[in-house]
Each structure stands twice: as C-alpha cells, then as structure tokens.
Structure 1
C-alpha cells in the first residue's frame, strides 16, 4: 500500500460516525467503480455503504484510484437505481416503481407483485405510528427481486453466497439490502397464492424494520426479535387491522399450532435462553420460530410501550460489535423488569388463554 493511500484511508475513519455529513468516496476494483461512504475499516479491508444501499467489502490490496468526491454521500435517485436494475436483470424483467419501492418482476406482472410491497410498508408505518413510534425516513429506495421460478432464485442466491434450505422461499439480505424471492405458483393462475403473500409480508417487515430504525444492519438485534416481529405481521389483523380488528385476527395460526405442540415439552426457564442467545435457532428451528412469535405477540399485546422501547434500545447499540449474553439480558430487563420467572408465567398464561 502506498503512503498516499494509507494516509487517505486514515482519513476515512473520521466519517464512520457521521450521518448527514458523510463523505462520498470512489474506488475501482477489477475495473468496477464503486461509490460509497466508509462504515468500518481494518488494515486490509474497508466496508462501504454504497449509493444503492448495499454493503460492499473492499480488499485494500485490490483497490485502485481511491479518492474523495466533491459533496457528501447520498443515495442514487430512484430513476438511477431503476436503470441499474434494468441493466442487471435484462429484458425478461420489468422494474416497477411504487413510491418507496422498486420491484423487479417478470415482464407483465406489475399488478401481481409491485403494489404488495408498498402496501406492507405503509401498514408497518401505520402500526408503529399508532404506538407513538416515529420511524426514520428511508435513505434509499427499497428493492425487491421476484424470480419466476425456484431454480432462478437458487442460482441467484448461490452467486450471492447465500445458503438456502428446501423450505426457503425468500430472504432479506443485510449485505445487498434487497428482498429476494420467487413465485411459488410458477405463474399458474389457479394455484394458491398465500405462500407468496406470506413471504412478501415476512421479508418486507425485515427490510422495512432494518431501514427505518427499528433494527440496525450494523448492530443486528437478537434473532428472536427480528423473526418474531416479521411473523407477527403475517397475521391479517396486524398488517390490515381495519378489515381484521379482532384479537383472534392478530394470531399467527401456523406459529400458534407449533407452539401448542411444543408447549408440553418446553423446558422451564426457556425465556432466559431465548433472550440471551440465538442458539435455540440452531437446535430446533420450528420451535424457536414459534417461541419467537409467541413472546413477541405477548409483549406487543400486553406491554406495547415497553416493547417498542426495547426495539429501539436494541437498534441503538454501537455498530459492528458482538452482542454478549450479559448485554442482551441487561437490555431486556431494563425494559421488562428483572423477574424473568414472573414474566414467563404471565407470558405462558397469556398464550395458553388465546
């Protein structure tokens, strides 16, 4: 590394905590030009927040022509990102703008796909606005990619280095800040569409939460928090309370059934394990997801002020630092009290009574 480049990279560290006045840099890697603002750096790597909202990991020994550009960092415009997406995905896809979203979808399928993401974004705003939470404005247009078949979806995920399972129908990528999914009906008009709808809801909630300040991409919350919120919104009474106003409409029936089956073998004191560690998600995924939904639903229904306070608390941690068990427990008890045994009893009684 040249002395000039080392000096310039040292200057980048001053931009890591700024927001409105973030500087804009340009770098060339293998002939590809990137523009972005630095988030984190080491002696060998630089993490850039790119102008399309993605995270770009730059190997410094491969970087060329690193320089600061005039002005401050800002997102590409929606029209600029739309043009980039059209070039990326080609003539078999349309790119539809819906206000806050750019949705890449098979040609001629605008009405089937594009409005749904925007509707969920607005439902999310209404839900938290009614609870007194002022969400942050979006910094970037939100992007969703819809592939026509599972094979197309799997090829894209593999190119992006994303591992999938047989049950994966879509995902939100922290790295690209995109939703990726596929049409499980394979375009058959008579096929049931509810699985597509559930995937859109779940992944859109992830994306919107990570882009409006409820979660932080650089300091992710415990897994039960992000997954529980997304699963809670899958119930029609949450994302469309005007048409579905009853408590029973807000219950995620699929997760409730799994939790009821799990209830008889659920270990005593499981609440503390869920709060302080993500390891339960590596032991039994279905049970962990059902518990994440059940705890989230209990807190949102019975302790809404403390729940939103907790969401914001977990989003305001220092970036790119591990979240220890002690810190997780401290943040949880600061919002819900330190008597976890009593809270767990109230929680289970509430779920059992649904």
Structure 2
C-alpha cells in the first residue's frame, strides 16, 4: 500500500457471525462482568451494548473502550446498582496518564483531553487543529441536516513526541496491525486517537518554526484531521461503533475533510479542498470508456477493495471522489446515507445488496448512472494550488 495511505482507522475484527438481541438503546446500568478469562483483569465494569443469543456480550467501559466477550470467556454478570457514566475530564486524564507513563502531560480543550509527550508548541498546534476540525465537522453535518449528539465525554487523544514510543504503544494496543510509516490512527476499540510528532520537532523554538516544518509535511496535518473526523463521527451519532459501516463512506468522509492548506493559521481551512493525493489518483483511475478501473459496484458492495494492496489506492481515491460528488451535487442523498448510518446496530451485518440499495435509493440513480456523473465531476476538477 502506498505510504500516502498509511493513516487509517483501526477496524476491529468481529469474532464470528453474531445474531444479537439489541435494545433500542444501550443499557443505562453499570454492570460488572466477573471471571474474565482473556482480559488483563478478572473483572470489568461498563454498560452492555449487545447481548448475543449465545450469551456473548459487547460491553463499553467507562473509558469508552469496547470489550467483545464471547460466551464462555466470563463467568457471570451482576448489577452494581449504579448508573453508567463515562469518565469525566479529570478521570479521563488520570486514565490516559496511567496508560502512557512518565513524560506525558495533559492539555485540555473544550472538547478534547490530550495526553502528550510532544513539545508544548506541537501539542498546542494539534489542540487548535482538533478544535477547528470539530467545529467544521459540526457545521458540515448541520448543512446536510444530519442530527448530531453531544459527545458524552471529552475525546481522548494521545500525542507522542517520538515514533519509537508511538510504535511501542500502538503495538500493544493492536498487536495484529503493522504501524510502520503510520503517523497516526483512530482506534475504534479504544475510542482513542493516536498521533506522533514529526522527527526533529523538539528543535523548534517558535510556532512559526512548527508551521514552517508542517508546511513541508502536509501529510502530518492531514492525518490529524482524518483521524479526528473518524473519532467525531463515532462520538456524535453519525456512525455506530462495531456496526457494519461501509468503508467507502467512512473513509470517503475522512479523506474529504483532510486536505491541508498552507494559507491558514492551522494549515487546514475547511473540508472539500481538492485532495493532493486522491484527486490525481481518481483521475488516473478513469478508463478510456469513461469508467473507473474499480467499478462503483465493487467499491460499494463490500470492503474488499480497501483490504487489498492492489486496489486500496483506487478505493480511497474513488471514495473521496464519490463523497465529493455527493457533497457538491447531491447533498440530500449524502445526508440520507449518513442518517441511515447512525441507525445501524452493532454486530449486525448489512448485505452487499442492501449497501447498494442504500446508495442508489438516496441518489435516485443506478450505480452505472452515478459512476458516469462522478467521473465527469472529477475530470473537471483541478488540483490544489
């Protein structure tokens, strides 16, 4: 996979196929799960999101981490007599410091708790960029008339001053995933965003030094925005964690937002700028027959194209192109699709046919007709200035 694509959401592996009983809302009670056989501690407390027919559980603890427990991996459940509430700002800060250890400090903003071992200058830059992304995300969703929930708790972000510490922490958090050449990611399981500072950042003495260096590394800026959009989507009701979220829409939305712009104080201005990677990538994917090399049918029906090194670049580029087209030309359709995402149920698969129907019904076009329009839209676009 090209290094330009190596920022991503860490999608958890869903164990088996689960037929689940799901209440309309997660449990409001704080439950205690005893006798865990495959966890760091023998007990865990949280709210039950899903109870499967075979007795398995999907449980969210107070830090926001989701635990997927098979039947037989725990002995019993019991009521604590308390209401489930997420960790407050102070509790979350303490939890992050316990996870990261020494040399990390807390920086709080209106909507985030940053736990950082990077320089104060870089941490402050990331904090400002996160808040700007938060505000633009809400403005964007409001323009599409997509209802948003207020986040139940501050959003946790860990900023690493060096890549070695980042790789060590990421490897412990997700040992099944390679993080080589990855400047950051959003962990769907832990509901945490992790970012590493560029090498050499400790040598800079002013904000202008930091901005000058980041102008040379737009990918660093874009990674913060990209992962922040993932985290925001899953914490405002736009998407549901552990539901069947089509990657073309999840990743298309994030790459639609990400493009850096050196003309603003945060080096990022707003969503929808021509993407320096994916616009030429999408244009390259157009065949002589005015179609995409990776058809929209193959992109939309399943996530397979994102999981193959041979097609991942095309999948990201065409997802960006599709979301850009829908935003510019069919915003009502995009709003409908995002509203449907927020109604998904954890662990319940959506068939390939249903994925296609959701898009064609919203756009009121066949996939072939839609592909023709997206190709025309992208061919007319010019790259970033």
Asked if Structure 1 and Structure 2 have the same fold, meaning a TM-score greater than 0.5 normalized by the shorter chain, the answer is yes
Report whether the alignment pairs 1:135 with 2:148.
yes
Name the TM-score, length of structure 1 as normaliser. 0.85
Pick from 327, 333, 345: which aligns with 1:306? 333
Pick from 340, 356, 363: which aligns with 1:336? 363
The corresponding residue for 1:146 is 159
State the Cα distance separating 1:322 from its structure 2 match: 1.5
Where is the helix percentage greater, Structure 1 or Structure 2?
1
Would the alpha carbon gap of residues 269 and 94 (structure 1) be closer, same or farther in structure 2, given more than 3 Å must change?
closer
Q: How many angstroms apart in 1 are the aligned matches of 2:126 and 2:178? A: 23
Report whether the alignment pairs 1:27 with 2:33.
yes
Would the alpha carbon gap of residues 51 and 245 (structure 1) be closer, same or farther in structure 2, given more than 3 Å must change?
closer
Q: 50-59 or 286-295, which moves further after superposition?
A: 50-59
Name the TM-score, length of structure 2 as normaliser. 0.79
Report whether the alignment pairs 1:279 with 2:304.
yes
Contact between 2:226 and 2:255, CA under 8 Å: does it hold in 1?
A: yes
Report whether the alignment pairs 1:180 with 2:203.
no
Residues 67-115 of structure 1 deviation map (CA, whole Å, 9 limit, x = unaligned): 2112322212111111111222223001211121111111652423323
State the Cα distance separating 1:280 from its structure 2 match: 1.7
Contact between 2:60 and 2:67, CA under 8 Å: does it hold in 1?
A: yes
Aligned to 1:144, what secondary structure does the other structure show?
Answer: strand
Report whether the alignment pairs 1:218 with 2:245.
no
Q: How many angstroms apart in 2 are the aligned matches of 1:125 and 1:220? A: 23
Would the alpha carbon gap of residues 64 and 85 (structure 1) be closer, same or farther in structure 2, given more than 3 Å must change?
farther
State the Cα distance separating 1:33 from its structure 2 match: 4.5
Using CA pairs under 8 Å that are at least 6 residues apart, name the structure with larger relative contact order, 1 or 2.
2
Contact between 2:144 and 2:334, CA under 8 Å: does it hold in 1?
A: no
Contact between 1:148 and 1:186, CA under 8 Å: does it hold in 2?
A: no
Q: Report 1:244-283 matches (<5 A).
A: 250-264=273-287, 267=292, 270-281=295-306, 282=308, 283=310
The corresponding residue for 2:17 is none
Contact between 1:220 and 1:315, CA under 8 Å: does it hold in 2?
A: no
The corresponding residue for 2:97 is 86
State the Cα distance separating 1:350 from its structure 2 match: 1.1
State the Cα distance separating 1:279 from its structure 2 match: 1.6
Pick from 335, 342, 347: which aligns with 1:320? 347
Would the alpha carbon gap of residues 345 and 152 (structure 1) be closer, same or farther in structure 2, given more than 3 Å must change?
same
Report whether the alignment pairs 1:168 with 2:182.
yes
State the Cα distance separating 1:173 from its structure 2 match: 1.0
Q: How many angstroms apart in 2 are the aligned matches of 1:176 and 1:246? A: 27
**Structure 1 residues not aligned, in runs of 5+:** 1-12
Q: How many residues align?
A: 336
Question: What root-mean-square deviation, in Å, do the aligned CA atoms of Structure 1 and Structure 2 show?
Answer: 2.8
Report whether the alignment pairs 1:17 with 2:2.
no
Contact between 1:94 and 1:105, CA under 8 Å: does it hold in 2?
A: yes
Would the alpha carbon gap of residues 108 and 186 (structure 1) be closer, same or farther in structure 2, given more than 3 Å must change?
closer
**Structure 2 residues not aligned, in runs of 5+:** 1-19
